[in-house]
Structure 1
Amino acid sequence: MKNKRMLPIYLLTTVTLAAAMWVGALPQSAKAAEISLVNMANWTVYSGLQAPEGLRIPESIELLKDTPYYANPDDPNEKAEGVFAPQTVRVLKGEASWSVNSASQWQIDTMYGPRWVRPFMWDIAITKPDTIMLTEETPLYQSQNDQLESVASLSPQEVQVVKIEDKWFVGDSRIGKAWVQIHTTWLGDLWIHIPINRIGTVQPIFQRAHYNNEPYYLEVGTALQDNDHTGVNQLADGRLRNGDYKIIAELTTVYDRSYLVQTADGDKWVRGAGTIISETNETVDLKVETPLLSDVWSTDNQELAVLKAVTVTAFETIQDPFNGTWDHVRTSQGTTGWVNKHRAEPENAIPVQWKIRLMGEKMQFRYPGVNFSVQKPNLLAQTVTALAYWDEPSGEKWVKIHTAEGSVWVTFSNKDRIQVPEATLQIEYNERHLGYVTIIPQGQDLTLFGQRNIGYRSDDGTDFLSVVQLASAFRYRSKQDDYTHSLSIDKGDYMFVLQAGHREARIYWHDVPERTVQLSQPPIDSSGKWYLSLHDLSSLFGLSQDNWQNPDYYSLLEKDYTVELGNFPTKVDANERFELQAWLYEQWSTRKGNLRMPALLSIEEEGAVPSSSPNSLQEKFGSEEQANTVWYRLYASRTLVPGLHRLNAVLRVGERIVWKQAFSVEVPK
Structure 2
Amino acid sequence: MKYKVALICVVMWTALFSQQVIAEEWSPALPKTITLLHETKLYASPNENSFSGASLTPQDVQTAGAEADWYNPFFGIQKWVKIHTSWLGDQWVHIDLPEIGWLTPRDEFLDVSGDMPLYNKPEYGYTGATLTSQIVHTKGIFYRPMQSPTWLLDTWLGDKWFTPSGAMVIEGVSKVSPDVRVNLQGKASLFQAPSNQPYIPYATTIEPQILSAIAKQGDFYKVVTSDGKSGWVSNRFEQPADTETINIDILLKEKTSIYAYPNLQSYLDPVTPQTVHAKAKVNDIWGNTWFQIQTWRGDAWILHNEDTELNPNKIPNTNGYIDVFPKTISGDKTVWGRLYVVNLPQYEGYGGFSFTLQMIDKQGNVLASAETSVNGVRPNDDIPFTAVLDRFDESFTNYTFRLSDVKFIRSY
State TM-score, norm by structure 2.
0.41
State TM-score, norm by structure 1.
0.28
Larger proportion of strand: 2
Please identify the structure whose Cα radius of gyration is greater: 1
